Amino acid sequence: MSSDILKNTIERMEKSVQHAREEMARIRTGKATPSLLDNVKVEYYGTQTPLNQIANINAPEPRLLVIMPYDKNILSTVEKAILASDLGLTPQNDGMVIRLPIPMLTAERREELIKIIKRLAEEGRVSIRNVRRDSNEQIRKSEKASEISEDESHRLQDQIQKETDSCIEELEKVVKIREEEIREE
């Protein structure tokens, strides 16, 4: 039972870190990466389809994305989907491919992005701490119900605290890397 609690806790904490990492990766910096378009959905034969499933997305230059739909008939639909997204980018359609230039970041926008990253990191830390709290409550309940000993309870809570510290430290590393990326642009 105690190993199940610990395994579940570690799994949930790692998911929190992964989620925060993915959210931070979606934040647009001045660099062109195909992952910028991960949230763009295109109306394709009546269903909302992720752009990366119906087109090849490349970054031939640091500030340019090139989108080549597998079906040339949907170029205008892809263009509309990009314009409708919250990316703030203007696609250029030449009839064969869509070019998506990524503008330079202003100093003000850099600071806004850093604030957003720090907010996402704080949400991740709160999520990790909530997992810790839930797990510790579960351990205390098990201890009161005499399912585990007091020593086992303390040992598990120490392990959970170590995992919490580790996950928060990992989150801080991700924040530092993203912050440096934004400042360097």
Question: What is the reported pLDDT for 126?
Answer: 96
Q: What is the pTM of this model?
A: 0.69
Range list of H helices, 26-149: 51-54, 75-84, 107-144
Rounded Cα distance between 14 and 135, Å, is 14
Q: Does domain 2-26+106-184 have CATH number 1.10.132.20?
A: yes
What class does CATH assign to 34-101? alpha beta
Same fold: 2-26+106-184 with 34-101: no
31: tokens are 């660099």
| 32: three-class secondary structure by DSSP | coil
Instruction: Quickly count helices (H) and strands (E) in the chain.
Output: 5, 6
Q: How far apart are the first and last CA of the chain?
A: 49
pLDDT in tens, 7-55: 999 999 999 999 998 888 777 666 777 877 877 888 888 888 888 888 8
In the chain, where are the structural domains located?
Answer: 2-26+106-184, 34-101
pLDDT in tens, 54-99: 888 888 888 888 999 888 888 888 888 888 877 777 888 888 889 9
Query: What mean pLDDT comes out for the span 106-111?
Result: 84
| 61: three-class secondary structure by DSSP | strand
